[in-house]
Structure 1
Protein backbone atom coordinates (compact mmCIF):
# COMPACT_ATOMS: atom_id res chain seq x y z
CA UNK A 1 0.00 0.00 0.00
CA UNK A 2 1.12 3.48 -0.85
CA UNK A 3 -0.01 7.08 -0.76
CA UNK A 4 -1.66 7.73 -4.12
CA UNK A 5 -1.40 11.50 -4.52
CA UNK A 6 -0.27 14.71 -2.90
CA UNK A 7 2.94 15.66 -1.12
CA UNK A 8 3.60 12.10 0.13
CA UNK A 9 2.75 10.46 -3.21
CA UNK A 10 4.36 7.04 -3.63
CA UNK A 11 5.43 6.67 0.00
CA UNK A 12 4.78 3.31 1.60
CA UNK A 13 2.08 2.65 4.19
CA UNK A 14 2.98 -0.20 6.51
CA UNK A 15 0.40 -2.97 6.86
CA UNK A 16 -0.36 -5.37 9.72
CA UNK A 17 0.70 -9.02 9.60
CA UNK A 18 -2.57 -10.39 10.99
CA UNK A 19 -5.69 -11.17 8.99
CA UNK A 20 -8.08 -9.45 11.41
CA UNK A 21 -7.29 -6.07 9.85
CA UNK A 22 -8.28 -5.37 6.26
CA UNK A 23 -6.64 -2.13 5.12
CA UNK A 24 -8.40 -0.05 2.50
CA UNK A 25 -7.07 -1.20 -0.87
CA UNK A 26 -5.40 1.36 -3.11
CA UNK A 27 -7.93 0.94 -5.94
CA UNK A 28 -10.87 1.51 -3.58
CA UNK A 29 -9.12 4.45 -1.93
CA UNK A 30 -8.33 6.02 -5.30
CA UNK A 31 -11.98 5.63 -6.33
CA UNK A 32 -13.15 7.34 -3.13
CA UNK A 33 -10.90 10.32 -3.76
CA UNK A 34 -11.93 10.54 -7.42
CA UNK A 35 -15.55 10.80 -6.28
CA UNK A 36 -14.68 13.38 -3.61
CA UNK A 37 -12.87 15.52 -6.19
CA UNK A 38 -15.19 15.18 -9.19
CA UNK A 39 -18.74 14.67 -7.93
CA UNK A 40 -21.46 17.28 -8.27
CA UNK A 41 -23.67 15.53 -5.68
CA UNK A 42 -21.96 17.14 -2.68
CA UNK A 43 -19.34 19.80 -2.13
CA UNK A 44 -16.52 18.83 0.19
CA UNK A 45 -13.01 20.12 -0.30
CA UNK A 46 -10.11 17.90 0.78
CA UNK A 47 -7.67 20.80 1.07
CA UNK A 48 -7.75 22.40 4.52
CA UNK A 49 -10.44 19.96 5.70
CA UNK A 50 -10.82 18.54 9.17
CA UNK A 51 -11.25 14.74 8.98
CA UNK A 52 -12.41 12.09 11.46
CA UNK A 53 -11.16 8.58 10.59
CA UNK A 54 -13.17 6.07 12.66
CA UNK A 55 -11.89 2.49 12.83
CA UNK A 56 -8.77 3.90 11.19
CA UNK A 57 -6.63 0.75 11.17
CA UNK A 58 -3.24 1.59 9.64
CA UNK A 59 -4.55 5.04 8.67
CA UNK A 60 -4.72 4.63 4.92
CA UNK A 61 -7.67 7.01 4.39
CA UNK A 62 -6.60 9.70 6.84
CA UNK A 63 -2.99 9.68 5.65
CA UNK A 64 -4.17 10.09 2.06
CA UNK A 65 -6.24 13.09 3.20
CA UNK A 66 -3.19 14.66 4.85
CA UNK A 67 -1.06 14.05 1.76
CA UNK A 68 -3.70 15.83 -0.31
CA UNK A 69 -3.75 18.89 1.96
CA UNK A 70 -6.22 18.23 4.76
CA UNK A 71 -5.52 20.46 7.74
CA UNK A 72 -6.01 17.83 10.44
CA UNK A 73 -7.02 14.18 10.85
CA UNK A 74 -8.27 12.59 14.06
CA UNK A 75 -7.66 8.84 13.95
CA UNK A 76 -9.75 6.63 16.25
CA UNK A 77 -8.54 3.04 16.73
CA UNK A 78 -8.36 0.60 19.64
CA UNK A 79 -7.01 -2.64 18.16
CA UNK A 80 -3.64 -3.18 19.89
CA UNK A 81 -2.15 -5.17 16.99
CA UNK A 82 -2.60 -2.24 14.59
CA UNK A 83 -2.03 0.83 16.79
CA UNK A 84 1.79 0.69 16.59
CA UNK A 85 1.57 0.45 12.80
CA UNK A 86 -0.79 3.43 12.61
CA UNK A 87 1.59 5.49 14.74
CA UNK A 88 4.58 4.33 12.68
CA UNK A 89 2.83 5.40 9.47
CA UNK A 90 2.04 8.84 10.89
CA UNK A 91 5.64 9.24 12.08
CA UNK A 92 7.23 8.00 8.83
CA UNK A 93 5.11 10.39 6.78
CA UNK A 94 5.81 13.21 9.28
CA UNK A 95 2.16 14.03 10.05
CA UNK A 96 2.47 14.16 13.84
CA UNK A 97 1.57 17.88 13.94
CA UNK A 98 -1.47 17.40 11.71
CA UNK A 99 -3.00 14.42 13.48
CA UNK A 100 -4.19 12.94 16.72
CA UNK A 101 -4.59 9.25 17.55
CA UNK A 102 -7.36 8.44 20.01
CA UNK A 103 -6.95 4.92 21.39
CA UNK A 104 -10.64 4.41 22.07
CA UNK A 105 -13.25 1.76 21.57
CA UNK A 106 -15.79 3.62 19.48
CA UNK A 107 -18.76 1.83 21.01
CA UNK A 108 -17.70 1.56 24.65
CA UNK A 109 -15.61 4.54 25.63
CA UNK A 110 -15.63 7.15 22.90
CA UNK A 111 -17.64 10.12 24.06
CA UNK A 112 -18.40 12.14 20.94
CA UNK A 113 -18.60 15.37 22.93
CA UNK A 114 -14.79 15.30 23.36
CA UNK A 115 -14.42 16.67 19.84
CA UNK A 116 -13.86 20.39 20.08
CA UNK A 117 -14.29 21.07 16.37
CA UNK A 118 -16.60 19.95 13.61
CA UNK A 119 -15.51 17.71 10.77
CA UNK A 120 -15.78 18.20 7.01
CA UNK A 121 -15.49 14.45 6.42
CA UNK A 122 -16.09 11.43 8.61
CA UNK A 123 -14.76 8.14 7.28
CA UNK A 124 -16.02 4.95 8.91
CA UNK A 125 -14.42 1.59 8.14
CA UNK A 126 -15.92 -0.72 10.78
CA UNK A 127 -15.25 -4.46 10.83
CA UNK A 128 -17.43 -6.26 8.30
CA UNK A 129 -18.91 -8.36 11.12
CA UNK A 130 -20.30 -5.22 12.77
CA UNK A 131 -24.00 -5.40 12.08
CA UNK A 132 -25.28 -1.94 12.93
CA UNK A 133 -23.76 1.44 12.33
CA UNK A 134 -26.91 3.45 12.96
CA UNK A 135 -25.84 4.22 16.55
CA UNK A 136 -22.68 5.87 15.20
CA UNK A 137 -24.71 7.94 12.75
CA UNK A 138 -27.08 8.92 15.57
CA UNK A 139 -24.10 10.04 17.68
CA UNK A 140 -22.74 12.15 14.82
CA UNK A 141 -26.09 13.96 14.66
CA UNK A 142 -26.61 14.19 18.42
CA UNK A 143 -23.20 15.72 19.11
CA UNK A 144 -23.22 17.85 15.94
CA UNK A 145 -19.67 16.88 14.95
CA UNK A 146 -20.22 17.03 11.17
CA UNK A 147 -20.31 20.40 9.46
CA UNK A 148 -23.56 21.36 7.78
CA UNK A 149 -22.23 20.55 4.29
CA UNK A 150 -20.02 17.67 5.48
CA UNK A 151 -19.97 14.12 4.17
CA UNK A 152 -19.91 10.70 5.82
CA UNK A 153 -18.10 7.95 3.91
CA UNK A 154 -18.71 4.35 4.97
CA UNK A 155 -16.73 1.30 3.82
CA UNK A 156 -18.75 -1.93 4.15
CA UNK A 157 -19.03 -5.41 2.68
CA UNK A 158 -21.06 -5.15 -0.53
CA UNK A 159 -23.65 -7.66 0.73
CA UNK A 160 -24.20 -5.92 4.07
CA UNK A 161 -27.69 -4.49 4.46
CA UNK A 162 -27.26 -1.62 6.89
CA UNK A 163 -30.05 0.25 8.62
CA UNK A 164 -29.21 3.91 8.45
CA UNK A 165 -30.64 6.55 10.71
CA UNK A 166 -33.76 8.23 9.26
CA UNK A 167 -32.15 11.56 8.35
CA UNK A 168 -29.12 9.99 6.63
CA UNK A 169 -29.35 10.31 2.85
CA UNK A 170 -27.19 8.17 0.60
CA UNK A 171 -25.99 10.42 -2.24
CA UNK A 172 -23.57 7.96 -3.86
CA UNK A 173 -22.98 4.21 -3.55
CA UNK A 174 -20.21 2.35 -5.38
CA UNK A 175 -19.12 -1.29 -5.27
CA UNK A 176 -15.54 -2.48 -5.73
CA UNK A 177 -14.81 -6.20 -5.38
CA UNK A 178 -16.26 -7.28 -2.03
CA UNK A 179 -16.52 -3.68 -0.81
CA UNK A 180 -19.11 -0.99 -1.09
CA UNK A 181 -18.55 2.67 -0.40
CA UNK A 182 -21.48 4.75 0.82
CA UNK A 183 -21.37 8.54 0.65
CA UNK A 184 -24.04 10.15 2.78
CA UNK A 185 -25.24 13.45 4.13
CA UNK A 186 -27.65 14.41 6.88
CA UNK A 187 -30.75 16.37 5.90
Structure 2
Protein backbone atom coordinates (compact mmCIF):
# COMPACT_ATOMS: atom_id res chain seq x y z
CA UNK A 1 0.00 0.00 0.00
CA UNK A 2 1.33 3.42 -0.94
CA UNK A 3 0.44 7.07 -1.32
CA UNK A 4 -0.71 7.65 -4.89
CA UNK A 5 -0.28 11.36 -5.51
CA UNK A 6 1.01 14.62 -4.11
CA UNK A 7 3.94 15.52 -1.89
CA UNK A 8 4.39 11.98 -0.53
CA UNK A 9 3.70 10.16 -3.79
CA UNK A 10 5.11 6.63 -3.79
CA UNK A 11 5.78 6.50 -0.04
CA UNK A 12 4.80 3.22 1.57
CA UNK A 13 2.13 3.08 4.25
CA UNK A 14 2.77 0.64 7.09
CA UNK A 15 0.04 -1.99 7.17
CA UNK A 16 -1.32 -4.04 10.06
CA UNK A 17 -0.22 -7.63 10.50
CA UNK A 18 -3.58 -8.83 11.78
CA UNK A 19 -6.83 -9.17 9.86
CA UNK A 20 -8.93 -6.89 12.10
CA UNK A 21 -8.07 -3.85 10.01
CA UNK A 22 -8.94 -3.64 6.31
CA UNK A 23 -6.82 -0.92 4.69
CA UNK A 24 -8.31 0.95 1.76
CA UNK A 25 -6.97 -0.50 -1.51
CA UNK A 26 -5.03 1.80 -3.83
CA UNK A 27 -7.48 1.28 -6.72
CA UNK A 28 -10.46 2.33 -4.60
CA UNK A 29 -8.58 5.28 -3.09
CA UNK A 30 -7.47 6.51 -6.51
CA UNK A 31 -11.00 6.19 -7.89
CA UNK A 32 -12.46 8.17 -4.98
CA UNK A 33 -10.03 11.03 -5.58
CA UNK A 34 -10.63 10.97 -9.34
CA UNK A 35 -14.36 11.34 -8.75
CA UNK A 36 -13.92 14.09 -6.14
CA UNK A 37 -11.50 16.07 -8.27
CA UNK A 38 -12.98 15.60 -11.75
CA UNK A 39 -16.74 15.08 -11.39
CA UNK A 40 -19.00 18.07 -11.94
CA UNK A 41 -21.26 16.62 -9.21
CA UNK A 42 -18.97 17.92 -6.46
CA UNK A 43 -17.58 21.32 -5.63
CA UNK A 44 -14.57 20.75 -3.40
CA UNK A 45 -11.17 22.40 -3.28
CA UNK A 46 -8.94 19.96 -1.43
CA UNK A 47 -6.31 22.64 -0.76
CA UNK A 48 -8.58 24.42 1.70
CA UNK A 49 -10.58 21.42 2.89
CA UNK A 50 -10.95 20.09 6.39
CA UNK A 51 -11.27 16.29 6.31
CA UNK A 52 -12.65 13.82 8.87
CA UNK A 53 -11.52 10.20 8.47
CA UNK A 54 -13.76 7.94 10.60
CA UNK A 55 -12.58 4.36 11.23
CA UNK A 56 -9.28 5.60 9.84
CA UNK A 57 -7.33 2.44 10.61
CA UNK A 58 -3.70 3.00 9.59
CA UNK A 59 -4.68 6.23 7.83
CA UNK A 60 -4.61 5.32 4.15
CA UNK A 61 -7.31 7.81 3.10
CA UNK A 62 -6.28 10.64 5.41
CA UNK A 63 -2.59 10.28 4.53
CA UNK A 64 -3.51 10.55 0.85
CA UNK A 65 -5.44 13.73 1.67
CA UNK A 66 -2.44 15.19 3.49
CA UNK A 67 -0.18 14.32 0.58
CA UNK A 68 -2.55 16.18 -1.73
CA UNK A 69 -2.27 19.32 0.41
CA UNK A 70 -5.53 19.50 2.37
CA UNK A 71 -5.80 22.02 5.18
CA UNK A 72 -6.26 19.43 7.94
CA UNK A 73 -7.23 15.81 8.58
CA UNK A 74 -8.82 14.54 11.78
CA UNK A 75 -8.50 10.79 12.24
CA UNK A 76 -10.94 8.84 14.44
CA UNK A 77 -9.86 5.35 15.46
CA UNK A 78 -10.12 3.24 18.62
CA UNK A 79 -8.37 -0.04 17.75
CA UNK A 80 -5.01 0.12 19.57
CA UNK A 81 -2.91 -1.72 16.98
CA UNK A 82 -4.24 0.46 14.15
CA UNK A 83 -3.63 3.60 16.25
CA UNK A 84 -0.01 2.61 16.83
CA UNK A 85 0.54 2.15 13.09
CA UNK A 86 -1.37 5.35 12.23
CA UNK A 87 0.90 7.34 14.55
CA UNK A 88 4.00 5.76 12.94
CA UNK A 89 2.68 6.54 9.44
CA UNK A 90 2.08 10.18 10.38
CA UNK A 91 5.47 10.44 12.04
CA UNK A 92 7.21 8.89 9.00
CA UNK A 93 5.64 11.51 6.73
CA UNK A 94 6.17 14.37 9.19
CA UNK A 95 2.54 15.47 8.84
CA UNK A 96 1.60 15.74 12.49
CA UNK A 97 1.22 19.55 12.35
CA UNK A 98 -1.91 19.48 10.17
CA UNK A 99 -3.47 16.32 11.55
CA UNK A 100 -5.26 15.29 14.72
CA UNK A 101 -5.96 11.84 16.08
CA UNK A 102 -9.02 11.22 18.21
CA UNK A 103 -8.85 7.92 20.03
CA UNK A 104 -12.53 7.22 20.37
CA UNK A 105 -15.50 5.07 19.50
CA UNK A 106 -17.28 6.30 16.37
CA UNK A 107 -20.57 4.86 17.69
CA UNK A 108 -20.54 7.22 20.67
CA UNK A 109 -22.72 10.17 19.63
CA UNK A 110 -20.99 12.34 22.22
CA UNK A 111 -17.73 11.97 20.31
CA UNK A 112 -19.10 14.01 17.41
CA UNK A 113 -20.29 16.78 19.74
CA UNK A 114 -16.72 17.18 21.04
CA UNK A 115 -15.46 18.04 17.55
CA UNK A 116 -14.91 21.77 17.25
CA UNK A 117 -14.34 21.80 13.48
CA UNK A 118 -16.76 21.62 10.56
CA UNK A 119 -15.74 19.35 7.72
CA UNK A 120 -15.82 19.71 3.94
CA UNK A 121 -15.41 15.96 3.50
CA UNK A 122 -16.10 13.03 5.80
CA UNK A 123 -14.74 9.62 4.86
CA UNK A 124 -16.49 6.77 6.64
CA UNK A 125 -14.97 3.30 6.38
CA UNK A 126 -16.61 1.05 9.01
CA UNK A 127 -15.95 -2.70 9.17
CA UNK A 128 -17.75 -4.51 6.35
CA UNK A 129 -19.87 -6.49 8.83
CA UNK A 130 -20.95 -3.33 10.64
CA UNK A 131 -24.73 -3.00 10.72
CA UNK A 132 -24.84 0.31 12.61
CA UNK A 133 -24.03 2.65 9.75
CA UNK A 134 -27.28 4.58 10.23
CA UNK A 135 -26.39 5.32 13.85
CA UNK A 136 -23.16 6.99 12.74
CA UNK A 137 -24.92 8.88 9.93
CA UNK A 138 -27.53 10.08 12.42
CA UNK A 139 -24.80 11.23 14.82
CA UNK A 140 -22.92 13.07 12.05
CA UNK A 141 -26.13 14.84 11.04
CA UNK A 142 -27.21 15.66 14.62
CA UNK A 143 -23.82 17.10 15.58
CA UNK A 144 -23.79 19.18 12.36
CA UNK A 145 -20.10 18.52 11.75
CA UNK A 146 -20.45 18.38 7.95
CA UNK A 147 -20.54 21.78 6.27
CA UNK A 148 -23.57 22.64 4.15
CA UNK A 149 -22.93 21.07 0.77
CA UNK A 150 -20.24 18.90 2.35
CA UNK A 151 -19.41 15.48 0.96
CA UNK A 152 -19.73 12.19 2.81
CA UNK A 153 -17.95 9.22 1.24
CA UNK A 154 -18.80 5.76 2.55
CA UNK A 155 -16.75 2.63 1.81
CA UNK A 156 -18.77 -0.60 2.20
CA UNK A 157 -18.94 -4.20 1.03
CA UNK A 158 -20.61 -4.34 -2.39
CA UNK A 159 -23.48 -6.47 -1.02
CA UNK A 160 -24.29 -4.32 2.00
CA UNK A 161 -27.92 -3.22 2.14
CA UNK A 162 -27.58 0.10 3.90
CA UNK A 163 -30.49 2.51 3.95
CA UNK A 164 -29.27 6.08 3.66
CA UNK A 165 -31.33 8.62 5.64
CA UNK A 166 -33.19 11.25 3.63
CA UNK A 167 -31.11 14.12 5.03
CA UNK A 168 -28.25 12.92 2.80
CA UNK A 169 -28.52 12.91 -0.98
CA UNK A 170 -26.97 9.93 -2.77
CA UNK A 171 -25.05 11.43 -5.67
CA UNK A 172 -23.07 8.47 -6.92
CA UNK A 173 -22.33 4.83 -6.15
CA UNK A 174 -19.44 2.85 -7.62
CA UNK A 175 -18.36 -0.78 -7.19
CA UNK A 176 -14.75 -2.00 -7.22
CA UNK A 177 -14.23 -5.73 -6.68
CA UNK A 178 -15.82 -6.52 -3.31
CA UNK A 179 -16.11 -2.82 -2.38
CA UNK A 180 -18.62 -0.14 -3.10
CA UNK A 181 -18.22 3.56 -2.53
CA UNK A 182 -21.23 5.78 -1.92
CA UNK A 183 -20.96 9.54 -2.38
CA UNK A 184 -23.45 11.65 -0.44
CA UNK A 185 -24.10 15.38 -0.13
CA UNK A 186 -25.37 17.05 3.02
CA-to-partner distance for each residue in 1:21-63, whole Å, 9 max, x for gaps?
Answer: 1100001100000001001112112112100000000000001
Rounded to whole Å, the distance in 2 between the matches of 1:138 and 1:6 is 33
Inter-partner Cα distance in structure 1 for 2:180 and 2:130: 15
Partner of 1:142: 142
TM-superposed CA distance for 1:132, in Å, is 2.6
Aligned to 2:16: 16
Residue equivalent to 1:119: 119
Question: Pairwise CA RMSD of aligned residues?
Answer: 1.0
Q: What does residue 80 of structure 1 align with?
A: 80
Distance 1:19 1:40 in 2: 37
Q: Is the 8 A contact 2:105 2:111 kept in 1?
A: no
Structure 2 unaligned residues grouped into runs of 5+: none
CA distance in 2, matches of 1:118, 1:72: 11
Q: Distance in 1 between matches of 2:109 and 2:86?
A: 20
Runs of 4 or more consecutive aligned structure 1 residues displaced over 4 Å after TM superposition: none
Q: Which residue of 1 aligns with 2:180?
A: 180
Q: Secondary structure at the match of 1:91?
A: helix
CA distance in 2, matches of 1:41, 1:127: 27
Instruction: Output aligned runs, 1:86-125, within 5 Å.
Output: 86-108=86-108, 110-125=110-125
Structure 1, residues 109-130: CA drift from partner, whole Å, max 9, x if none? Answer: 7521111110000000000110
CA distance in 1, matches of 2:110, 2:66: 23
Greater fraction helix: 2
Alpha-carbon distance in 1 for matches of 2:61, 2:38: 18
Cross-structure match for 1:54: 54
Aligned length: 186
What's 2:67 paired with? 67
Give the distance between the partners of 2:43 and 2:139, measured in 1 at CA: 23
* Contact 2:169/2:185, CA 8 A, preserved across alignment: yes
- Deviations 1:126-170, CA, capped at 9 Å, x for gaps: 001101311111111111111112100000000000011122111
- TM norm structure 2: 0.97
